[in-house]
Amino acid sequence: MTPLAAAGRAERVTTCVSLVVGPLLMSIGDLLHPEERMLPAEQIAIVVDHASRWYTAHLLLFFGMMLFIPGLLGLTALTAMVKPVVAYAARILIMIGTAGFAAIITGEMLASRLVLDGVGNAAPISLWTNLFMGPVVVAVGPALVAFFVGTFMSAIPLLRRSERLRWPVALIVIGVLLILAEILSAHVVLSQIGNIVGLCGSAAVAWRIARAEADGSELISRQAIA
């Protein structure tokens, strides 16, 4: 095996592992996630009652998001086979969005740590207000939007051009839409379902990649690439 071929195989293996492990950790974290409220005082009251569970859930979400990065890059690499320019733009937007999600998750972890350290409710409420209703959200909000836009940009060419990836990618899109709905509505059950649906889709993509590697078949037909 040449060095180039070995590097390509290592990239495919990393992508497949990432597509399973990252969403799996995120799904477990979201299943542990306590309920959410729109009002900061109500939300902090829930965090106070479930501080350890809140912290553990967001820790799993954080590591899951970080471990999902190679898988996300692998998905955009598949998109690049049919739409190189779209894939390049999607890759940039998704990475910006990942940074935005990491910032939000870290802030939510910090709120639970303040509660666990016994500083009272005033500091966590102030943190929550500034994170989701103050100037910080103006900076971080566009990054979150970039993640969703980049994901849809990456998915659409695969939905249109790849028969073998169509339904797995469709599951990922449905999962992402449910997560977006949860962010807008604060109904945790939506993101819990969304993460599980997304996990099924990304695991199916990983399976397709592994099968194509094993039998030498094509994930995207030459006619679709042409």
pLDDT at position 89, please? 97
Q: Residue 157 is part of which domain span?
A: 11-225
Question: Binning pLDDT at 50, 70 and 90, where does residue 126 land?
Answer: confident
- Strand, helix or coil at 68? coil
pLDDT tens digits, one per residue of 137-149: 888 889 999 999 9
pLDDT tens digits, one per residue of 24-64: 999 999 999 999 888 888 888 888 888 899 999 999 999 99
Radius of gyration of the chain (CA): 19
Is residue 50 included in any domain, yes or no? yes
Question: Binning pLDDT at 50, 70 and 90, where does residue 71 land?
Answer: very high
Is residue 200 included in any domain, yes or no? yes
Q: Reply yes or no on whether the pLDDT at 1 is more than 60.
A: no
Is residue 214 included in any domain, yes or no? yes
Q: How many domains does the chain have?
A: 1
Is residue 3 included in any domain, yes or no? no
Is residue 170 included in any domain, yes or no? yes
pLDDT tens digits, one per residue of 159-212: 998 888 999 999 999 999 999 999 999 899 999 999 999 999 999 999 999 988
Of the chain, the percentage scoring pLDDT greater than 90 comes to 61
Is residue 6 included in any domain, yes or no? no
